[in-house]
Amino acid sequence: MSQHFSLADCDVVGFDLDHTLCRYNLTESALLIYNSFAQYLVTEKGYDKELLTVPTESWDFCCKGLALDLEEGNFIKLAADGTVLRASHGTKMMTSEELMGIFGNKKWKYFTDASMASRTAKYYFFDNYFDLPAALLCARIVDYLTGKSNLETFDFWKDILASIHHNYKVTAFKENSGMYFPEVKSDPGRYLLICPESVKKWLYQLKSAGKVLFIMTNSHSDYCRLLCEHIIGNEFTDIFDIVISNALKPGFFSHQPNKRSFRTLENDEEQDDLPFLDKPGWYSQGNSDHLYELLKKMTGKKEPKVVYFGDSMHSDIFPACRYSNWETVLILEELREDEGMAPERNASEPLEKKGKYEGQQKKPLNSSSKEWGSFFVDGDLGLESTESSMTFTWFCNQIHNYSTVVIPSLEAIADLPLDYKFTRFSSNSKTVGYYPKPPLALLSNGESLTTK
């Protein structure tokens, strides 16, 4: 495999939508997501009303890459080899002594290999900005239940799933039910960031260069349309040859075609199953095998080269790389913190305008957690975090293994020529795949870091 990656060499360019093509005002959207779950739990499931008030400092708990033991209520930060680096019970961080007593130097009991699923009946991995508010909510629920009756095992996850279904079910957008969709529909400018002109120009440049462009998102078609029309404009249908909504990733990549057919859409309602795809258009569900057959037809090539941009390791990067052998570009907004980039506003929003929830949250979700530290690296269990003891986290190892390159946003590469040669990740270096530069947490330790 070549040491370099170039968009000019790709025949097809695909994009996830949420937090990839469409960037969010994370301060506003995080609290909306949190409140949409908390309101349901309090009003429908009888949880304590204290969950509705979020102390400003509580947001520091949010960190990508944490696993939640659904039965024990413990949050786990894993090293690349599966041992535990840090942990908390609810929001209460464990001491080094507690860590050693509970976990020792052994692999976490649910750790199997580097491709662990993020959704099982035993644990859940939090790996994107839609997840993180729920992580804080779950931790606060554990605090409440522990304080109320000193529980040692927990059964609240079914209620979290019910709140997700209530707010995000297929019909919620059309019915204007739940809290999330009605809020975004009423004031999309509060939550969504307009696509920069440089990115729009770049998309047209890709199109003019003969690339096939597609969107593939787990969002349903009605919400997908709202996002695209708001951030790009009605012309988004002229830019993208194929739009796939309700893709049900990662199953889109891992399921066989007979398990998950594409469906046509009419007025945002899913219609007939399709035995195959024969033309560009807007579809729902589906599978990567049938999509690739269409891409062969559209490009006239037996093995068209596909690159896919996404923000979720679980839903986008890992399955696209592992099952479809696509090139993958991870959008990692945490890199923006190292660049000193302030949280963005819409250009049309007055500077003096304060968001509905903005006063409640000071720490952006794409900044480091003081409690959990960097999600790239950490110290060995029970040891002080010195350079000699620092090691890659499991999340960071996933990035290196399954991403071609990592960027902070599409805007970061929009002004580059299409034949720009990115240096891809390799077994010889864990830092070269980041553009425009590696995170400071890795640079400060150089290549001395270990994967254990």
Q: Which two tokens stand for residue 349?
A: 């929003």
Q: Is 16 a catalytic residue?
A: yes
The β-bridge partners of 67 are 76, 125
60 has catalytic annotation:
no
Rg (CA), the chain: 22
Q: What HEC string does 36-90 produce? A: HHHHHHHHHHCCCHHHHCCCHHHHHHCCCCEEEECCCCEEEEEECCCEEEEEEEC
Identified catalytic residue from 9, 11, 16, 289: 16
Paired residues of 4 in beta bridges: 423
CA distance 102 to 207: 55
CA atoms within 13 A on the CB side of 126: 25
How many Å apart are CA 403 and CA 309, to the nearest integer? 10
The whole-angstrom distance between residue 334's C-alpha and the CA centroid of its chain comes to 12
Catalytic one of 11, 18, 222, 380: 18
Residues marked as catalytic: 16, 18
